Amino acid sequence: MKKFEELGVSQVVCEALHHRGIKEATLVQEQSIPVVRSGQDVIVQAQTGTGKTLAFLLPICEKIKANVPAIQALVIAPTRELALQTAKVAAYVGEAAGVQSLVIYGGQNIERQKQKLGRNPQLIIGTPGRLLDHLRRKTIDISHVNKIVIDEADEMLHMGFIEDVNILLDQIAKDRQIMLFSATMPERVRGLANRYMHVPQQITIQTEHVTLDEIKQVAVDTTEDTKIDKLCELINTYQPYLAMVFCHTKQRVSMVTMALARRGYLVDELHGDLSQAQRTMVLRSFREAKLQILVATDIAARGLDIEGVTHVVNYDIPRDTEAYIHRIGRTGRAGQEGMAVTFVNARQHDQLHRIESGIRSHIQKQKSERSLQRTKMRTKAEETDHADKGKGGKKPAPLNRYATAKGAPHKGRNVQKSRNRTNVKTKTNAGHRAKLGKKVK
């Protein structure tokens, strides 16, 4: 790993990074920073948790002209959480580089945002819907923007924001530099790149070496009836500092949250039905460890960078490999170790195998109590058999197909059939003797 000084990052920015314990560049930063600094369009395919935010913010902030009071760079993020996380990094990098930044997203007071836009920030970080809202109101001018980042482009597609992104790209300067960051490359994302980007440099970071190495992955057999009990058992066993539990729907999130709260755990929920104030309060409590467990939908799987998340539990198995990686990427960040537990039932093992194939890694299986009991009984039977052989005892012949499941006093012999054969033989002999008697007379 290279140091940021070796990548040409200014000394004052390097000191700001060192102050936060960031001394060496990650692989995606090492490969992306020189390309972004050169002014080329770039497509970076890398999973969450690899350090993509600094990969584009460091060179962008150093290229922005601090003495020009106009918006020069734009970062588009799919969710409020990701926008806020990016803004937090931009705040200390921008302060060191002399760049003013502003984050805008839905749920905020738009009049207050208009006032802040009037202070001429040079870097805007925002969600597509709110950016378009300001464009329609003519409270934002992005015609001078010549550096634009599309972060988590595949998530933009899934959330239906690709058309909004197209509108925003049509409004920026013609001599622009576009940086596209995405975990996967669906066809429509490639189409967007082909339409707007000029001979982009391609950078791909292999998943298995950057995202999953520090995460212990376990799959646990459960049934729907035993999931809550198993979740509580895991929490009591592993004693996580902070844990995130992922469910498919808001209703499931609320159900799991209530069940854990009734059992005395420090828990809260995070999903799309919460207001921005509620979401902010929940995340603040979780970051400050006033909560031990955060139950969330997949909306929280992207963009959240919370220090101290030691465990992730997939209460509902992810629908695909991408969702799995984004979920478990909440732990094992910045080189720290983490643990990810996935609940599966008997019908979901094919889905688990597809995830294993996607991540090119084996997920350790933890057997259910029934399986463990069967294994224990089998082992005990083998030990007993081995002990009998050691004493010189004769091993009993296995029961044949006529024996009952629990064994039978006839030791597997078909007593009825034997009795029938005996009766037939007796009758035959008696008949033969009777015939002989007649002949003698």
pLDDT at 441: 46
Q: Is residue 14 part of a domain?
A: yes
Residues 238 and 151 in one domain: no
Residues 292 and 344 in one domain: yes
pLDDT at 440: 47
Q: Is residue 398 part of a domain?
A: no
pLDDT at 158: 74
Residues 230 and 116 in one domain: no
pLDDT at 360: 78
Mean pLDDT of 174-195: 89
Q: What are phi and psi of 360, to 5 degrees?
A: 55, 45
Question: What single string gives the DSSP state of each residue in 193-229?
Answer: HHHH-SSPEEEE--HHHHTSTTEEEEEEE--GGGHHH
Residues 20 and 162 in one domain: yes
Mean pLDDT of 388-412: 54
| CATH code of 10's domain | 3.40.50.300
pLDDT at 411 over 70: no
Residues 164 and 15 in one domain: yes
Residue 285 has which token pair?
């409590």
Domain that holds residue 61: 4-205
Domain boundary among 158, 184, 205: 205
Residues 182 and 255 in one domain: no
Residues 274 and 126 in one domain: no
Write out pLDDT tens, residues 235-276: 999 999 999 999 988 899 999 999 999 999 999 999 878 887
Average pLDDT value over all residues in the chain: 84
Q: Is residue 417 part of a domain?
A: no
Residues 170 and 294 in one domain: no
Which of 421 and 314 is assigned the larger pLDDT?
Answer: 314
Q: Is residue 239 part of a domain?
A: yes
pLDDT at 209 over 50: no
Which of 413 and 153 is assigned the larger pLDDT?
Answer: 153
Residues 150 and 219 in one domain: no
Write out pLDDT tens, residues 133-144: 999 999 999 999
Domain boundary among 187, 205, 223: 205
Domain boundary among 179, 205, 231: 205
Confidence bin at 432 (pLDDT 50/70/90): low
pLDDT at 59 over 90: yes
> What is d(CA 288, CA 305) in angstroms, rounded to the nearest whole number?
13
Residues 55 and 173 in one domain: yes
Residues 139 and 234 in one domain: no
Number of folded domains in the chain? 2
Mean pLDDT of 357-382: 71
Residues 215 and 249 in one domain: yes
Q: Report how far apart, in Å, the C-alpha atoms of 60 and of each of 139, 297, 337, 376 are.
A: 24, 32, 31, 61
